[in-house]
Structure 1
């Protein structure tokens, strides 16, 4: 294959990969977040209590994290296409089942089942991105892909609210995403690809002559078993564990911000459902800005140093949280703008923690590294379920807000420790 044909093939497949993975994760989010968006009406119709809702969220995130961990170990050995298309089909089927149920118990079972399936989505995507985009450019590409979280997160409450308003039935908030997910399953089956070497292409580091990527390739031993690679490059890596701790903090704040917004603003401040859910859309829109800018900033201004960039956005997050406290009783627009800032301060570190963990690992360990991260950090998401409900019951929402402030401070401290440890770390 001559150089011009090689470049054209590589570029075409890279765009194919980024578009397919972007659409896949957007659709997965639309299906996943339908539950939170429809929660106020769903709880009223089926008689689900607030504690049951919180417990369901906690169980969901624990199962999601466990699934992410186990699927991450497999993702480094299996073609992403064999993961993503079947996963999307099963998600669509489960969403239809949730929409049809009249039992709280059955709804909870199906909701937990979808957690297991949803957890299989990210590791193969992380693997594909690590294989098709090299170290010095990956921040920008990963930022572009990462906005799928925000597009899906923003569309989910808007689609659910619009469908419920049009039909008067919360069940269609699950049927419509199921149809969208089924269509995406077909697209993923057709367009998803494995690593470049499977198609007669060189490693992406060689193709781009990226010295940073070639260093990662060089330090990554070949011929290792999955367990030896996992133990040597991931399980005993202090940078990865510190980053997981920081990401856990992010997940607690993020999950409270997205899952409890409609409940708090409808029940406590007596906003209507559409207005309350619109704050989630503002939150996700801010996340798009944060995710896009953070990757580019880390690539262009910090030499692909993810950790220093994270610290900048930690202070953006704190500024948004403080802003909500001051504006919550003043005006909708000011509160919405603060949620926009929080979204930027959440999704930038979340994206960069994932990227930093991938790059601190083995060149072929993206699935396992992100799987471990997901298995642990979704404990943080689980802590934003039933424990938040219990804290609110015991100490009111003020107690919840104090807890979130303490977690934000912990996030800053952990990030500073990562920067210090990474600066002293010898090359692997």
Structure 2
């Protein structure tokens, strides 16, 4: 009889544990999704109202371009430094303060009366925005195990697209309603402040801090348990960073691959319209539609890649990346072939390029987290972000110089070389991962 009572108690405890885990996991995914969506709304408002800032405050196109380049650099530096902090501070304690500061800065941009103040606040926004992703990456690595993480990460990753789509709609809507461009910053400031409160309420620390077992144990995920077993405990931040991240060839190759992805993505976003309008004489609406098809393909690529890597490749991110890289190259070749033949086929090719860009971008971020120490998600993400945003900067002035000196054929040649390097580095990762073990001496 005592045995039956013990068994019944054990069953009730396990049911409660399962219920708590599921509830917290949904809180984490919804909260982090909303946090990053709101951060994107605040971040992209500047670009959405840039023409009005030029006419009202006298900001020049050169100043705007310079600010954009500085933004990428500051964002990358902040992402790296905050990544180290994220591995020692609970995501719950980081996200709400970050959102509050973003809210204040957004209001400050709206209150700016001259270009100097405006651009100073915009650069401050870059620093704080750069601190947002590492704690989110930490939370996703803590609450979802390796064999299922791709699917959950794919869902979360669409927050980029949702936020990027909402930002211009909100900005345009409030300006059309009020006639005041400043409201395009005040409204996101209010939204961000509300989200800060929600994050403080619903965000959680690690499962262990909530009295729950490690997610690998709860899911009985052999792949996650293997990561945990290979991650030494009681290491200092510097030793962990050096041993599992800084000297890890897989992470460096993945960062290099992601750098290539960022260059191709930014060139597509920033230069496609210029090329088709200036070189081929297309109108602005038709040229912009190609970028829209690119973004739509990106949503499909980001959503599908995580589930495919989980279900078809047993959570092998690198082999999945290689498949999507080949899709990317096929789309690029298709553009070259169809550029003067058919708008429909050309649009389809840009859709395919979007799939081939956003899928590896998502999987590189996830693979780098999983290649690091189990407690090093923030630092690994920070290192990746600090370097790969150089790719965004490289797609600006250097591409302009390349186009001026060697024409568009020179730009296309550079993109072809970058695509080759991307595939080569991905293949190298697949080979190295089979035998690589971190040095423990």
Q: TM-score, normalised by structure 2?
A: 0.88
**Alignment partner of 1:406 out of 414, 417, 420:** 417
Out of 117, 122, 130, the residue aligned to residue 111 of structure 1 is: 122
Counterpart check, 1:386 vs 2:388: no
1:154 and 1:280 in contact (8 A); partners too: no
**Cα gap change, 1:336 to 1:355, in 2 (>3 Å):** same
Q: Which of 268, 291, 301 does residue 302 from structure 2 map onto?
A: 291
Provide Cα deviations, 1:114-139, integer angstroms capped at 9, x if missing partner.
Answer: 11000111110010011101111111
Q: Is residue 57 from structure 1 mapped to residue 68 from structure 2 by the alignment? A: yes
* CA contact 1:151–1:285 (8 Å) conserved in 2: no
Which has the larger displacement, 178-187 or 17-26?
A: 178-187
Larger Rg: 2
Q: Aligned in 2, Cα 1:377/1:331: closer, same or farther, shift over 3 Å?
A: same
* Distance change (3 Å), C-alpha of 1:393 and 1:45: farther
Residue 140 (1) aligns with residue 171 (2): no
The 3 A distance-change label for structure 1 pair 85 and 332 is: farther
Please list every run of 5 or more consecutive structure 1 residues that lacks an aligned counterpart in the other structure. none
Map 1:25-104 to 2 at 5 A: 25-43=36-54, 46-104=57-115
Distance 1:255-1:128 versus aligned 2 partners, 3 A rule: same
Query: Distance in 2 between the 1:267 and 1:91 partners?
Result: 37
- Whether the aligned pair in 2 keeps the contact of 1:81 and 1:194 (CA below 8 Å) is yes
2:204 equivalent in structure 1? 193
| Equivalent residues of 1:143, 1:293 under 8 A apart | yes
Cα distance in 2 for partners of 1:43, 1:390 equals 25
CA distance in 1 between partners of 2:105 and 2:273 (Å) = 24
Per the TM alignment, residue 165 of structure 1 is displaced from its structure 2 partner at its CA by 5.5
Deviation at 1:32, TM superposition (A): 1.6
Q: Relative to structure 2, which stretch is displaced further, 344-353 or 378-387?
A: 378-387
Q: 1:302 to 1:366 in 2, by over 3 A?
A: same
Q: Give 1:179's aligned residue.
A: 190
Deviation at 1:296, TM superposition (A): 1.0
Aligned residue for 2:197, secondary structure, equals helix
Residue correspondence of structure 1 range 289-328 to structure 2 within 5 A: 289-325=300-336
Change (3 A) 1:216 1:245: same
Q: How far is 1:162 from its partner? A: 4.7
> Shift of the alpha carbon at 1:156?
2.8
Q: Could you report, residue by residue, the CA deviation over 1:265-302 in whole angstroms, capped at 9, with x for unpaired residues?
A: 67775745x77666554433322211111111111111
Q: Which has the higher contact order (CA 8 A, sep 6+)?
A: 1
Paired residue for 2:224? 213
Distance (whole Å) between structure 1 residues aligned to residue 290 and residue 100 of structure 2: 30
Give the 3 Å change call, closer, same or farther, for CA 118–5 of structure 1 in structure 2.
same
Pairwise CA distance, 1:98: 2.5
Q: Distance between the aligned counterparts of 2:374 and 2:320, measured in 1?
A: 22
Bigger shift: residues 27-36 or 361-370: 27-36
Q: How much does 1:47 deviate?
A: 4.6
Contact 2:309 2:315 in 1 (8 A): yes
Equivalent residues of 1:37, 1:277 under 8 A apart:
no
